A and B are shown apart, each in its own frame.
Chain A
Amino acid sequence: GAVVSQHPSRVICKSGTSVKIECRSLDFQATTMFWYRQFPKQSLMLMATSNEGSKATYEQGVEKDKFLINHASLTLSTLTVTSAHPEDSSFYICSATRDRAKGYTFGSGTRLTVV
């Protein structure tokens, strides 16, 4: 089956530093990857959609310069939280698909804590 690996699972960083989160599709080529943010006891909030080799499409209200997304290959997308602040602390989840008709596979998520 389709497997998506996300690293790290947990990260603690100091305010003002940047953090990179990786999302890899292990056994398929992902034409599209998605990045979500989830607050406690709330559903998933789509942040951006990325296609390999092109710029990400950000959802309204998501700062492009703060959440940098790179989708350099069909198996790897990265999300970099730049100049992180405590309000950026959240659960970030990536998702990938090779065929939208067959569903979306999610990574295991990254718990980011900014202190």
Chain B
Amino acid sequence: EDQVTQSPEALRLQEGESSSLNCSYTVSGLRGLFWYRQDPGKGPEFLFTLYSAGEEKEKERLKATLTKKESFLHITAPKPEDSATYLCAVRGNAGNNRKLIWGLGTSLAVNP
């Protein structure tokens, strides 16, 4: 069964304190791993899509990496405005391959 597990559940950082969020997954035939950011009361905002092990993508202070079992979202020198819930999802090739399998998210708080 396709599954996504995110850790930690919550993370509190000081401004400038770099860290990483983890997304472990099991899926039959990965067809994409997605990272989203969600602010309270808003819909998820797309960050990255990764397709194959070894792939990396960067955007400002964020960098996403992918292996065959997990993905990391590295946050370098975070700022308070990076505070949000970060969601990971995967799409496989089994069953209804149009839908995403979601993790529960990591709630990130960055203190000034």
List chain A positions with a Cβ less than 8 A from chain B.
4, 6, 32, 34, 41-44, 46, 49, 57, 91, 93, 95, 100-109, 111
Contact = CB atoms under 8 A, between A and B. Distances in A.
A108 B99 contact: no
28 contacts: A32-B98, A41-B107, A42-B104, A43-B102, A43-B103, A44-B44, A44-B87, A44-B102, A46-B99, A91-B41, A93-B43, A95-B43, A100-B32, A100-B91, A101-B31, A103-B32, A103-B34, A103-B46, A103-B49, A104-B46, A104-B100, A106-B36, A106-B44, A106-B45, A106-B46, A107-B43, A108-B43, A109-B43
Contacts, number: 51
Contacts of A100: 31-32, 91, 98
Contact of A43 (B34, B43, B46, B104): B104
A43 B46 CA distance: 15
Contact of B42 (A101, A103, A109): A109
Interface string B30-59: 011010100001111110010000000000
B interface, over-half SS: loop
B105 interface: yes
Interface residues of B, number: 22
A105 B104 contact: no
Contacts of B100: 46, 104
